[in-house]
């Protein structure tokens, strides 16, 4: 049954039902308190009541903060994700209680962000928020519908097809050579990326105890799709490894992701190359490997792609070369 008591300038209603936690809520008027109590009692009796008290006192920013502290440390991309989520939680939409988040609110968030960042970035941010809300519903007792499911996503940007030309490759390899205060690890990591088509995270997680120089293989313990992968190494890749000093920590390339990104960006400027990212080295490498490995199964074994559709996003054949093959 329900009970009511004066609470400050208003009234607090409390609903008790056997087998159900007490439900309380405060109102300005006694009449509103009675209406709420009756509706809760009916829903409990029908078995349709959903406790939204946690959602009513928790903001989206607080959910993000809890996710950063409790969940993120167990994920591979913790460092980059922590930076992104700390930026997202500062948005005014994240100051709203999650019980008040609606598709309209999130639609306005989408539209406002599209004026500042690319559609790809907005898609990723909405995916982040949706994932956090779903986790909160499953694990933390935050009982709300996920409003992002009802939000129209921006059109996905066209996949990048940027690869190095022959002249750009030469300029880049000159720009990454050690000179003065330049980091000595930049040149070998760029050359190794072009030989193996490994992702940046895979390169930086590579350890000497997972490399077999005799069998010419490198074992990646963790990859983007969560599976181990044995990568075959070319003779050039083996030469790069043989010329590397051994770091006491066991890493093949003892460089942080942030440091590598900064060094690479400076090298791109020195080389006079525009619109090129570190990940585009993977596009370039896979396009080169496709000339040596026309069998798609063999190519995907090197690149680590599970589907032909994903592999097609990275393989960029030269139309003139294909025309010559046609005769």
Residue 220 lies in a domain: yes
CA distances from 80 to 77, 99, 219, 249, 298 (A): 6, 28, 24, 22, 32
Note the helical H segments in 74-185: 78-88, 103-114, 119-139, 166-175
Residue 53 lies in a domain: no
Note whether 124 and 188 are same-domain residues: no
Whether the predicted pLDDT of 131 surpasses 70: yes
**Rounded to an integer, what distance in angstroms lies between the CA atom of residue 103 and that of residue 84?**
22
Q: Is 138 a catalytic residue?
A: no
Note whether 174 and 287 are same-domain residues: yes
Note whether 198 and 322 are same-domain residues: yes
Note whether 33 and 67 are same-domain residues: no
Q: Is 305 a catalytic residue?
A: yes
Note whether 182 and 311 are same-domain residues: yes
Confidence of residue 38 (pLDDT cuts 50, 70, 90): confident
Task: Say which CATH number the domain at 211 has.
Answer: 1.10.443.10
Q: Is 110 a catalytic residue?
A: no
Q: Which of 224, 247, 266, 313 is catalytic?
A: 224
Q: How many domains does one find in the chain?
A: 3
**Nearest 10 degrees: CA dihedral of 79, 84, 87, 89?**
-100
Give the pLDDT confidence of 56-84 residue by residue, as tens digits.
788 999 999 999 999 888 877 777 788 89
Residue 55 lies in a domain: no
Q: Mean pLDDT across the stretch 121-128? A: 92
Confidence of residue 323 (pLDDT cuts 50, 70, 90): low
Which residue range(s) make up the domain with 95?
A: 60-150
Domain boundary among 122, 150, 178: 150
| Mean pLDDT score across all residues of the chain | 84
CB 20: neighbour CB atoms within 10 A? 13
Note whether 318 and 175 are same-domain residues: yes
Q: Which of 89, 282, 283, 315 is catalytic?
A: 282
Residue 156 lies in a domain: no
Q: Count of H helices and E strands in the chain?
A: 15, 6
**Rounded to an integer, what distance in angstroms lies between the CA atom of residue 27 and that of residue 132?**
31
Structure tokens at 87: 């930026």
Q: Which of 89, 191, 199, 200 is catalytic?
A: 199
At residue 17, the pLDDT reads 76
Domain boundary among 93, 116, 150: 150
Q: Is the overall model pTM greater than 0.75, yes or no?
A: no
**Rounded to an integer, what distance in angstroms lies between the CA atom of residue 202 and that of residue 222?**
8
At residue 287, the pLDDT reads 84
At residue 155, the pLDDT reads 85
At residue 50, the pLDDT reads 59
Q: Mean pLDDT across the stretch 289-309? A: 73
**Rounded to an integer, what distance in angstroms lies between the CA atom of residue 104 and that of residue 91?**
16
Task: Say which CATH number the domain at 126 has.
Answer: 1.10.150
Note the helical H segments in 206-276: 235-242, 257-271
Q: Is 266 a catalytic residue?
A: no
Whether the predicted pLDDT of 327 surpasses 60: no
Q: Which of 200, 229, 305, 315 is catalytic?
A: 305
Q: Which of 49, 67, 314, 315 is catalytic?
A: 314
> Which of 321, 272, 282 has its CA nearest to residue 170?
272
Ramachandran angles phi, psi of 180, nearest 5°: 65, -120
Q: Which of 279, 291, 292, 306 is catalytic?
A: 279
């Amino acid at each position: 049954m329900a009970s009511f008591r004066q609470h400050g300038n208003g009234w607090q209603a409390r609903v008790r039902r056997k087998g159900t936690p007490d439900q309380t809520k405060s109102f300005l008027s006694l009449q509103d308190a009675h209406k709420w109590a009756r509706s809760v009692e009916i829903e409990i009796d029908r078995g349709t009541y959903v406790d939204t008290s946690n959602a009513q006192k928790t903001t989206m920013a607080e959910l993000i903060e809890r996710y950063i502290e409790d969940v993120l440390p167990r994920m591979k991309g913790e460092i980059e994700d922590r930076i992104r989520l700390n930026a997202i939680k500062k948005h005014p939409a994240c100051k709203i209680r999650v019980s008040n988040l609606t598709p309209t609110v999130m639609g306005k968030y989408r539209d406002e962000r599209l004026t500042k960042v690319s559609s790809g970035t907005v898609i990723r941010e909405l995916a982040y928020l949706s994932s956090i809300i779903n986790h909160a519903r499953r694990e933390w007792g935050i009982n709300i519908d996920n409003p992002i499911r009802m939000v129209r996503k921006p059109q996905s940007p066209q996949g990048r097809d940027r690869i190095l030309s022959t002249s750009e490759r030469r300029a880049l390899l000159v720009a990454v050579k050690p000179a003065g205060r330049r980091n000595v690890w930049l040149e070998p990591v760029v050359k190794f990326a072009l030989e193996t088509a490994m992702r940046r995270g895979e390169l930086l997680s590579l350890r000497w105890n997972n490399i077999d120089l005799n069998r010419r293989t490198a074992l990646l313990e963790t990859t983007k799709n969560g599976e181990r992968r044995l990568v075959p190494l070319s003779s050039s890749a083996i030469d790069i490894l043989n010329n590397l000093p051994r770091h006491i920590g066991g890493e093949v390339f003892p460089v942080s992701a942030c440091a590598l990104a900064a060094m690479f960006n400076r090298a791109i400027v020195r080389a006079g190359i525009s619109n090129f990212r570190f990940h585009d080295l993977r596009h370039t490498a896979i396009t080169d490997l496709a000339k040596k490995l026309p069998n798609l199964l063999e190519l995907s074994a090197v690149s680590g792609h599970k589907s032909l559709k994903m592999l097609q996003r990275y393989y960029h054949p030269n139309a003139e070369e294909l025309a010559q093959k046609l005769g």
